[in-house]
Amino acid sequence: MSLAFDLLILALALFGFCALSASMERHAKQVFGKLPPSEARKRYAIVGWVALVLALLPAIHAYGPSTGIAVWVGILAVSATGVALLLTYRPRSLHFTFSIALAGVLLTTLMGW
């Protein structure tokens, strides 16, 4: 049961970091092949940050406030590492990861509801 929450946090974190990396010039070029316009990048950044902050909610809900923040930070670290490795070795797969993360968010939200 709490697994749904953990996966939701992870999915939101992955989603958020994918979006955030797309908002950065260097990585947007890796992912899209060309540099997206700055308004688009700004949108990605906002979406990314919002997703990361949203991930805090299931964390606190499942673990309480103090442990929840710790878990949140930890899962952020893990997912950031994952996204960083993907960007290094398989930048194109970020599209896929993004979709998977989104699907994961929806699925786990339903599961945990």
Tokens of 63: 């673990």
88 Cβ contact partners less than 8 Å away, ≥ 6 residues apart = none
The answer to the question of residue 38 lying near another protein (CB under 8 A) is no
Piece of the chain touching another protein by CB under 8 A; list 34-42, 49-57, 78-86, 101-109: 78-86
Piece of the chain touching another protein by CB under 8 A; list 32-40, 86-94, 96-104, 105-113: 86-94
State the minimum distance, in angstroms, from the CB of residue 92 to another protein.
15
Residue 17's identity, in one-letter code, is F
The answer to the question of residue 93 lying near another protein (CB under 8 A) is no
State how far the Cα of 34 lies from the Cα of 10, in Å rounded to an integer. Answer: 28
Distances from the Cα of 76 to the Cα of 14, 15, 93, angstroms:
8, 11, 19
Instruction: Summarize as ranges the residues that interact with another protein (CB under 8 A).
Output: 1-2, 6, 17, 21, 24, 26-27, 63-67, 70-71, 73-75, 77-78, 80-81, 83-85, 87-89
